[in-house]
Chain A
Amino acid sequence: GDSVTQMEGPVTLSEEAFLTINCTYTATGYPSLFWYVQYPGEGLQLLLKATKADDKGSNKGFEATYRKETTSFHLEKGSVQVSDSAVYFCALRVRNQGGKLIFGQGTELSVKP
């Protein structure tokens, strides 16, 4: 079935370090891909998205490129801040199943000053 796999956390970085969170997917169709962020005690917010191969989604300094050949959508940021500490979820939307949204297990990021 359709699924999303993320690198396990927690990930601990120093401020201004480079961030990569790996995400790979399995899908029967041609999905749209998303990264969501969840701050403590809150719901999920869309961070960025890509709807077709080679698209790059970007927002707030975060980027991810839809790589169909490697079925990946890795999240990157060049210089993290303490305020980026949160849980990050990779997700896909299956177009031929009523738009079912499927999530990875989440990766907790902690950024130290």
Chain B
Amino acid sequence: NAGVTQTPKFQVLKTGQSMTLQCAQDMNHNSMYWYRQDPGMGLRLIYYSASEGTTDKGEVPNGYNVSRLNKREFSLRLESAAPSQTSVYFCASSETGHGHFGDGTRLSIL
């Protein structure tokens, strides 16, 4: 029973590089989310997807893109990484209740 799986767990990038964070859930949930967690800032919503085929901006979408590939998968892409995007990224999924979270991706941009 994997729940929400995020890959990779750790990544170091140079400024200007691109990368995609992967997220998959096996609970058949409709809604999926991407958050970033920074000290003193809590979890800020980057993008979310209420259902397969739809995506919407959250609180801090600039510099990111997302793809809801199918019901299971929701990826987050950084096209040109910046040091300000150094953070811990969490993916979550939910149906009508609370969110189930992955273990996070720790991303450092030098």
Contacts and interface: CB of A to CB of B under 8 A. Distances in A.
Query: Do chains A and B interact in one complex?
Result: yes
A98 interface: yes
Nearest to B50: A98
Central interface residue in A36, A49, A103, by most chain B CB within 10 Å: A103
A36 B90 CA distance: 14
A99 B35 CA distance: 14
B27 interface: no
Nearest to A42: B103
Contact of B90 (A34, A44, A98, A102): A44
Interface in B54-110: 54, 56, 58, 90, 92, 94, 96-104
Contact of B92 (A98, A101, A102, A106): A101
Contacts of B90: 43-44
Contacts of A93: 94, 97-99
A104 B42 CA distance: 6
**How extensive is the interface on chain B, given as a class?**
20 to 34
A33 to B, nearest CB: 10
Secondary structure type dominating chain A contacts: strand
A101 B42 contact: no
**How extensive is the interface on chain A, given as a class?**
20 to 34
Contact of A98 (B41, B43, B51): B51
Contact of A45 (B42, B48, B101): B101
Interface string A33-54: 0101000001111100100000
Interface string A75-113: 000000000000001010100011111111110000000
A6 B42 CA distance: 10
B98 A46 contact: yes
Contacts of B40: 105
Given A42-B103, A99-B94, 5 more contacts: A44-B92, A44-B99, A99-B31, A100-B58, A103-B45
Q: Closest 3 A-B residue pairs measured CB to CB?
A: A98-B50, A105-B42, A43-B101
9 contacts: A89-B42, A98-B49, A98-B50, A99-B31, A100-B45, A101-B48, A101-B92, A103-B42, A105-B42
